[in-house]
A and B are shown apart, each in its own frame.
Chain A
Amino acid sequence: MSDKGALLEKLKGIVIDGIIEDSEGATKEALGQGVEPLEIVEKGLVPGIEEAGARFSRGDYFLPELVASAEAMQTAMAVLDPLLRAKQEARKTLGHVLLGTVEGDIHSIGKNIVGALLQAAGFVVTDLGANVAVGTFVAKARELRPNIIGMSALLTTTMVKQQQTIEALAKEGLRSGLKVMVGGAPVTGDWAKKIGADDFAEDAVAAVAVAKRLVGA
């Protein structure tokens, strides 16, 4: 195996095993050896995350293992994304998901798990964090033009922000072509329908299936 092949294989292994602390170093090492950023993604990271995803689907991996794989990939992507942008190159993905917990709500663990699983499944995820104002969702939707917005709410008193965000997106003319999915402990299918969301999911695994369906993957 060439040096390049060995470096890509090493990166793949780092992602599969979720060795977050080695990811950045190995990525920089590959770049230093002259491997193209897009090649690192497509021949190192993506095969790694796909294998991790396959292991999870088979039941060989548990959620924390998959989350670690996603974080190892994310750490590498933080190095590669600016380079890809500079070269105007894009990796193949299932789509771009904008995630956030709604205003007034600071619960984030469920959303974080959804984000990791979506990345593992091949989506690009931008996580706006918790306590995200309606206006921030709208502004980011305009700026980043994601395929999907995913909103989490854990309180019955903050769920209404999901509705307000959907209304604001429509008012700003951003709703068409944009899919909205909602989640969080108090969120039900009835609620999703009532507020005009495209779909909802009860847990992170279901969220991936929903996101795939929404982008036709």
Chain B
Amino acid sequence: MAHQKIVPIELKLQTRLFSPDDLKRFHLAALEIMEEVGVSMPSHKALDILAGAGATVDRQKMVAKLPRSLVEKALKAAPKRYTLGARDPGNSLDLDGKHSYLSTDGCGIETYDLWTGERRLSTKQDIEDSARLADSLPQIAFYWGPMVSAQDVPAKTRPLHELQAAFTGTAKHVQPETIITEEIAKYAVDMAAVVAGGYEELRRRPLLSVMQCAMDPLGQDGGSLEASLVAAEHGLPTGFMPMPMSCATGPATLAGNLVVTTIDALAPLVLMQTAYPGSPFFFAAAPTAIDLRLGSYTGGGPEDYLLAAGFQEICAYYGIPLSMGTMATGAKVPDWQAAVDNVFSTLASVLTTVAMMTGAGMLNGSKIMSFQQIVMDCEIYEIARRFAAGIEVNDETLAVKVIKEVGIGGNYLAHKHTRAHMREIWRPTVVDRSPLQVWEDSGRAGAFEKATEIARRTLKDYQTEPLAPEVQRELDEIIRKAEKTIRD
């Protein structure tokens, strides 16, 4: 099967939730709280850096109060535009505020087996397989996650095994959320350098970026901060993902939720830019509202879509790229609910030009991976991509001359204007448009069956550009070393 070029989304339509004054108020609210209350950063290394730059640090509580001047200086230092590298340089992603890229979704614990359909514990092979499927799909721009946890390898080196499987499966950019200690981060950087061809080459072409989960409200995990400092030291982009849940870890009001989201994405920027000024940094987020009956994560709802669109506007105000939780339906199977969640969620991100959308292919609130869902989410992306492109207006597209020629009651079927433009019309890959009789005769094969066929064919036939055998050996060696040195 052929390798296809990544197709990003370029938005022509415009959506705005907030006025310039609204955006200023979010900023001022975040500044006030970071200065007065501070943020939890349970790492002496992080607190040393911030204290040295003028933050008021409480070592007992492991809290840093960030003065406004420090925050604004850090914001100035952060690059507004940079490129995510990839093992295959042709897969580089330009984070320029004009393009939206889709990744896989991630960090699940189970897989719907592609061959048996059963729901089972996820494995390292699932990561390589899903990365390979992602490599084949031009809608998927980078591999986020990993999609599932490699539960068949030891827990202490699991993130490294997962990284190896991702690098093996795809030549696209990789952005894990599982590099959460300094020790693991050092090994992960070593692995990325091996794949890139050296540390300098990795800095020039960061094929790995590191995302961390924030500890809302107003906090981070110490290990995650230290892991990200290692990544930034080597020029890898870093970002932190708050996911405050309105009523539980964030205020019930959506604007209040966005204040918490902003603080928990922005406070780590202050740390990283203080430690490594100019290092590539991104915001990340997946804010949501609580399920008022169960207290659980919803996996979709109007609040989620508004929070996504709203936070992107805040990120655009700062000029910092955003990696936004997008799609990730709460549906248990790829059904009507999955489509509703993922369509609205995609539109919210696309219509505001979110740089990175994470992502395709998970069910049950990012807990179960489905290969079919990856393929079907790419179809949603394709429809959104066409929608985002809007309607071009010029002499050729207005077609006044053509309309006059065809005249009253004629048709445009054989006109050369039709043949010149017909390929601009979107064509489905898995959406079923077959006639009723054909559909019944096929055993009622719809989108899911088509997606199954595509996923199975791809995993049988598609070859990712392989890692050189010596690279693979070095990766094995690094993991072996980590296995020996990291304590249980």
Contact = CB atoms under 8 A, between A and B. Distances in A.
A205 B121 contact: no
Given A156-B109, A156-B158, A186-B149, A109 B293 contact: no
A106 B155 contact: no
A59 to B, nearest CB: 8
A182 interface: no
Contacts of B367: 185-186
B391 interface: no
Contact of B293 (A106, A107, A110, A205): A205
A203 B155 CA distance: 25
A63 B292 contact: yes
Contacts of A113: 248, 295
A157 B293 contact: no
B292 A64 contact: yes
A190 interface: yes
Contact of A62 (B109, B110, B245, B292): B292
Contacts, number: 53
Interface string A101-119: 0000011011001000100
B151 A63 contact: no
Given A109-B245, A156-B151, A186 B290 contact: no
B40 to A, nearest CB: 10
B121 A204 contact: no
Contacts of B353: none
B296 interface: yes
A160 B155 contact: yes
B215 A106 contact: yes
B219 to A, nearest CB: 9
B110 A188 contact: yes
Contact of B294 (A59, A106, A204): A204
A110 B297 CA distance: 10
Interface string A134-177: 00000000000000000000001100100000000000000000
B221 interface: yes
A204 B292 CA distance: 11
Given A109-B249, A156-B151, A186-B109, A203 B121 contact: no
Interface of A: 59, 62-64, 106-107, 109-110, 113, 117, 156-157, 160, 185-186, 188, 190, 202-205
